[in-house]
Structure 1
Amino acid sequence: MDDQQRAVVVGISGCSSSGKTTLARLLRDMFPGTFILHQDDFYKTEDQLPMKEGLLDWDCPEAISVPDMEQCLAHIRSTGAFPVSLTTSSSPPLSQRADHGCCPPPPTPLNTATATPASSSLTTALPPSPPALQTALVDSKEDQNSVGACPAAPERIAAAAARVQAWLRPGQPGSLVFSPPTSSKSPSPPPPKVCLLDGFLLYSPDTAVRAIMSAIDIKLFLLVSRAKATRRREARDGYVTLEGFWKDPPGYVDKIVWPNYAAAHAWLFAGGDVERGVLDPDAAARYGILVPGIQQGVAATGEGGASDGGVDVDVDFADILDWAVDTLMRKLEEVVLGMSS
């Protein structure tokens, strides 16, 4: 991370209904100076979307205004904040909005006996979004969509948050990440912000979104089986859009969502077989993509994968949260402090 960069961009990608937004909101509530950018807020208008199988195709690269997304990410990386508004060629100007959340933090400090003094920039309670970010974010349609009940138990969330708070205490690596030491000889740069980029199509080097990959510092990828993705997506009421509201027609996952996901991510799986779920370790390592729950390149049978040596990709969400928290702490140390494990 160079001296001019003011935000670390963390990509959280995966198939629709893999738990990306729920995870992003939980991480946002645990790590200080953290906010969310949704790829879904860069959809083109419905009259610009391509058709497939006689249906509007929301799940392809052509549905996203990639140049607008690139511009927003460049601004975030250089300033550590959202543009106040975005005027784009593909959509009307986006107005300011307040940040919304899901899975609220524990109502009491995690450990009052060891609470950091109020004068410190670190607190034991989960930090809220900074006030400046509450009014300077683009108008998010995605934040108006419900992601359902949080699948992780409150005690698992609290335990994960406690690990973050321990990592943030003075003298620990997290305090150096978010509160760099000051020097009388030269002013220190402000602490970096963390932008959690939540998107269904962030890692696809052979499509138009390849330009986005270079703007992502830490790349997380969530797996989900076709059956679970279908079940979750079909349970949703629908999605708020620029024009109003979209509800998937019958068979939309089988005709649009899953085939597009498989085609865009075949490069990441052994033999291009997304259904089987075995990652290609060389492909993942080439782009620094990190995946929870399974060992890359090793097959293990399970109900979430194919019966012929496939991988059970349906990892318990609380385990995904634990993995994401530990991975993010470690990778922030590497990116911001240059520390290697």
Structure 2
Amino acid sequence: MAPRVFIAAIGGATCSGKTTTAKHLARIIPSSLLLLQDDFAPPAEKVPVDSRYGWQDWDDAEGAIEWDRQRETIRALRETGRLPESYVSHDHLNEQVPVPISEELQRKWRSRFEELLQSEGEKTTIVIAEGFLMLVNPESVRNFDLRFFIREDYATLKKRRHERHGYGSLWRDPPDYWDKCVWPAYLKAHRPLFVNGDVESGLIDASAIEGVELFEAKELSMDEMVDRAAARIYEAVKSGQTKERWTKP
């Protein structure tokens, strides 16, 4: 019998707080696994070059992720409850500004998840999958039991990206890269998911994708985002909710 695997996916723009949220959840939930979409980026020599500007485009959905490799890893997770030996993380290259959460919040949810998972009749592995394109590919999205999207405003995202400069030692943003590459690619990839294509302030379009809980980062502290996400994951695992309830995609 295949192990029970529950996958919660967190999408959102680069620098929106999704990776920080995902890592807090993975630290809190016992024996959970963290699946980072950046780890499915192609080798640098295969990243497409934008003919207009001459730089590599690490953000366009078509060339930024090796989707088949991502889905093969998810299939292996579903079958074994473990990440395959071929999975190699590049997270050590990802520069992040720490955003701590309270010890009280961590203790509360760690205790609740420990109790829940011990009471389960079968071993359950909870996977936290995150990435800036995590919710845009329908074939991949079908694999997720829960779906979160963290939205932050343009100015805040640009400031954070400028302070981060890019992706660790692997990549440094050329001048104007945010406005000419990162932001347009983010809007393009996510327009189909929002009513009237309004990525910046619109509602999630339920006719395009179901079950997405939208977190407005401007209105929520990191404690509040982690608390809400943990509560949703806890209830879904406890009640046995799975990806089978979603029809779109």
> How far off is 1:20 after superposition?
1.3
Q: Distance in 2 between matches of 1:40 and 1:143?
A: 11
> How far off is 1:8 after superposition?
1.1
SS of 1:292's equivalent?
Answer: strand
* Amino acid in the other structure paired with 1:58: W
Question: What is the Cα-based RMSD across aligned positions, in Å?
Answer: 2.3
1:158 correspondence with 2:103: yes
Hey, what does 2:125 align to over in structure 1?
Answer: 193
8 Å CA contact retained: 2:109, 2:230 = yes
Hey, what does 2:204 align to over in structure 1?
Answer: 280
* Amino acid in the other structure paired with 1:322: D
Q: Distance in 1 between matches of 2:240 and 2:22?
A: 19
How many residues align structurally? 239
Hey, what does 1:146 align to over in structure 2?
Answer: 95
Q: For each residue in 1:281-302, what CA deviation from the matched residue of structure 2 results, as whole angstroms up to 9, or x when unmatched?
A: 5347x42111124xxxxxxxxx
8 Å CA contact retained: 1:14, 1:20 = yes
Hey, what does 1:261 align to over in structure 2?
Answer: 186
8 Å CA contact retained: 2:13, 2:186 = yes
1:16 correspondence with 2:17: no
1:175 correspondence with 2:176: no
8 Å CA contact retained: 1:217, 1:335 = no
> How far off is 1:322 after superposition?
2.0
Hey, what does 1:66 align to over in structure 2?
Answer: 67
Hey, what does 1:330 align to over in structure 2?
Answer: 235
Map 1:104-253 to 2 at 5 A.
138-150=87-99, 152=100, 154=101, 157-168=102-113, 175-181=115-121, 189=122, 191-204=123-136, 209-240=137-168, 245-253=170-178
> How far off is 1:336 after superposition?
6.0
Unaligned ranges ≥5, structure 1: 86-137, 169-173, 182-188, 294-311
8 Å CA contact retained: 2:59, 2:181 = yes
SS of 2:11's equivalent?
Answer: strand
Q: Decide whether aligned partners of structure 1 residues 14 and 283 sit closer, same or farther in structure 2, where only a CA change above 3 A counts.
A: farther
Q: Decide whether aligned partners of structure 1 residues 270 and 30 sit closer, same or farther in structure 2, where only a CA change above 3 A counts.
A: same
Q: For each residue in 1:73-110, what CA deviation from the matched residue of structure 2 results, as whole angstroms up to 9, or x when unmatched?
A: 1001111101112xxxxxxxxxxxxxxxxxxxxxxxxx
* Amino acid in the other structure paired with 2:210: Y
Tell which has more relative contact order, 1 or 2 (C-alpha 8 A, sep 6+).
2
8 Å CA contact retained: 1:225, 1:314 = no
Q: Distance in 2 between matches of 1:264 and 1:5?
A: 33
Q: For each residue in 1:162-221, what CA deviation from the matched residue of structure 2 results, as whole angstroms up to 9, or x when unmatched?
A: 3214424xxxxx63444424xxxxxxx3x11111111111212xxxx3211111111111
SS of 1:140's equivalent?
Answer: coil
Q: Distance in 2 between matches of 1:236 and 1:335?
A: 39
8 Å CA contact retained: 1:19, 1:222 = yes
8 Å CA contact retained: 1:160, 1:325 = no
Hey, what does 2:247 align to over in structure 1?
Answer: none
8 Å CA contact retained: 2:47, 2:58 = yes
Alignment partner for residue 290 of structure 1, among 192, 213, 216?
213
State TM-score, norm by structure 1. 0.64
SS of 2:240's equivalent?
Answer: helix
Task: Give the % identical residues.
Answer: 28
Q: Distance in 1 between matches of 2:106 and 2:241?
A: 21
Hey, what does 1:56 align to over in structure 2?
Answer: 56
8 Å CA contact retained: 2:37, 2:130 = yes
* Amino acid in the other structure paired with 1:72: T
> Which protein is richer in helix relative to its size?
2
SS of 1:148's equivalent?
Answer: coil
Hey, what does 2:28 align to over in structure 1?
Answer: 30
Larger radius of gyration: 1
Unaligned ranges ≥5, structure 2: 243-249
Q: Distance in 2 between matches of 1:220 and 1:143?
A: 24
SS of 2:178's equivalent?
Answer: helix
SS of 2:215's equivalent?
Answer: coil
State TM-score, norm by structure 2. 0.86
* Amino acid in the other structure paired with 1:83: P
Q: Distance in 1 between matches of 2:204 and 2:28?
A: 31
> How far off is 1:255 after superposition?
0.9
Q: Distance in 1 between matches of 2:207 and 2:215?
A: 16
Q: Distance in 1 between matches of 2:15 and 2:224?
A: 17
* Amino acid in the other structure paired with 1:142: D
